[in-house]
Amino acid sequence: MSDLPLPQLLIWEWFTMMQGFTHIDGKGNARMVDVSAKPDTKRIAIAQGRIYLNAKTMELLENQALPKGDVLSCARIAGIMATKQTANLIPLCHPLFLSHVALDIVTLKDECAIEVRCTTETLGKTGVEMEALTGVTVALLTIYDMCKAFDRGMRLEGIGLQMKDGGASGYYTARV
């Protein structure tokens, strides 16, 4: 392989690396993974993230004094609804039958932050990590949307997978 000109060598290295990605076929084309031969197993994923607000917005939110209404209830519903739409939003993501979704929201007044945690569960052939991540992200974006008239400087941070279990890859937990 070292006899190849540099551009061809780089393409070959990229192609070789891509062989480990299940969403890339032997020709480098995107594809949806065939999971039909995989057994159904119980799968669970937990994702979380935060949104940071200014103190005034946090006070308005806690007192439910924002003109758009109950922000956190709306965010919870939006996050749950989003988990059910993940396959429509993320290319090549399998549509799943979710058996359980929980969206927990905690206000962290001292940090002027709101933490969102989404738990998704299914009995199926593929994991529910994308659904949990989508639920968290949409819930946080809903909070942003409902508060943006008072605080355009809000930041979403720390969105990530905290835990997953099930399937061939087994258990995973994020490092703290």
Residue 135 · residue 45 · CB < 8 Å: no
The CA radius of gyration of the chain, in Å to the nearest whole number, is 20
Please indicate whether residue 145 is annotated as part of the active site.
yes
Residue 56 · residue 146 · CB < 8 Å: no
And the tokens for 114?
């709101």
Q: Which one from 25, 34, 110, 145 is the annotated catalytic residue?
A: 145
Straight-line distance from the first to the last Cα atom of the chain, in angstroms, rounded to the nearest whole number? 41
DSSP state of 93: P
Residues noted as catalytic: 145
